Structure 1
Amino acid sequence: MATISKLEDLVIWQKAREISLIVYQRTDTLFFQQNQGLKIQIRNSAGSIADNIAEGFGRSSQKEFIHALFVASGELQELTSQIIRCGDFGIFNQADVALLTSRLSILDRMIRKLSFYLNHSGIKGQQFKGRMG
């Protein structure tokens, strides 16, 4: 696996950012203007996926990155649930539900694969470079 030196090159962060943008666009409606709590909750979940990936990447430690990926995956599952519920109540149309849940499913697989890779690699992280043991 190639070494990624900056956040913007991390594909899972790019995908999470794209999902967040779609969620922001889909929640910019009259319904969500009148239901600010739901709007904030969905937008926060969407943003937290990318933010947790970024935070973990920035920690420069394999274990902290893996932990942040698991947190991001939890936020992803929460967002998936919110989107499905919005579809159940007719707030999102079925095309939007299908688009978002498909992208979230793909991102979840990518996050899990990266977590697995990091868990099984000898990589410790930048903060451990040059240390013995």
Structure 2
Amino acid sequence: MKYLPDLSILRSVLFTYSIENYDNLERERFIVSKNINDDKELSELFEKLTKPEYTSYKLKQRNWYIDTLQHFLKTDENFDCVFYLFDTYFDDEILDKRQFMKVLLDCLTRYQIELEEC
């Protein structure tokens, strides 16, 4: 059975960046050191902090994230609801949430391919 696309799940994959996820000053410093509106720096952030957790998920869960992002990026979704009342360590406001999610999708897809090659 395949899970249906659901925007609410995206908060869980982004929880690493939430101020509710505290007690790691090194991680917090790394997050604020990155320009999240720059695709390259955002990818570096995902590589270091999202990849380890994402790759620990089961295949079905990983596919659910990818399918959800693909689905909503094909619509006119602006992803505001994902970040509504979601306080992060990001130093800057996300200027283009769709682009942010495209970078996330690219990274998750790359991690999935890497796992399949192992």
TM-score, normalised relative to structure 2: 0.35
Q: By percentage of residues, which structure has more helix?
A: 1
Structure of higher RCO (CA pairs closer than 8 Å, 6+ residues apart): 2
TM-score, normalised relative to structure 1: 0.32
Q: Which structure: larger Rg?
A: 1
